[in-house]
A and B are shown apart, each in its own frame.
Chain A
Amino acid sequence: MPQASSISVLVVDDQLTMRALIRNALQQIGFKDIREAPDGEEALKNLLAKPANLVISDFNMPKMDGLALLRAVRSHPPIRQTAFVMLTGRADRELVQRAVQFGVNNYCVKPFTVQGLRDKIEQVFGQLT
């Protein structure tokens, strides 16, 4: 049972509000090491400089979208195993299917609650303490 506080998270979303909300939710779950990036490009740079255990990423972002980020993460050996949870809207079904092909660990449909997000993360890491 991993401890939430020992899992490092990178939140990727082009919207400051959304990053703040997700950060807030993660803090409620017990995460402490939370970083942010506004797009895939920054996220990848960030990860290569300092890997994280978990990436929570939006899909539609400028420069490099969530799907491209996922592919990039999976093709860089040191960070290949980063857990990747994609945030999607209901309309993005095909997108999630593609994300599955590229090895997404889980997805979370907006809107979600703190508990909903927790469940999704626990499905990947096991129950969090």
Chain B
Amino acid sequence: MEECTARQRLRIYFTGVGGQGTLTATTLLAGAAMIAGLDVVAGEVHGMAQRGGVVESVVLLGGWRSPRVDFGEADVLLGFEPLETLRGLPYLRLGGAVFSSSDPLPPVGVSLGQAQYPELAVIEEKIRQIAGLCKFLPCRELGLAAGSAQSGNTALLGAACAAGALPFGTDVLERAVKNVLSPGIQEVNLKALALGAAA
């Protein structure tokens, strides 16, 4: 378990599908790091985000200057969709930690029967070959239990935090929810955070 305990200097890679709220989760985590008094830099690639493409972003803590994570550099990979978690796996360093949603969003090629979605067991096996810690979470279910499917992302952050993969506690994430998110969705996200941390 030594591999998954948080270092102060940490590179986190987020991946998901356009419209899932990947960038909001990124801002939330970066905001939490600010509250914790950590040096933080984050990076996003916009542009095609809302058209069903892959959305990637990064948060680097503890004094990194570059808002970018390359292959083999990420200490933590947060995947909001299992296929994208697998696609993002080369970014993880050997022994890094993976937290991923277990709810597939099939790409169009799969929906139309032109491509095959990999089995979850296969995805998990490939991740375990690289990662020191791998946790799948039913984010959609947890999100819905909290009050909205979207808040499943926050549940995933809660799980990563509770597993000790982030250099601050869930209390800091709670404060970030109150600081960063609009008042109307704070309650739901606080609930999702707790559900994720307990999962």
Q: Do A and B come from one complex?
A: no
B→A interface (CB under 8 Å): none
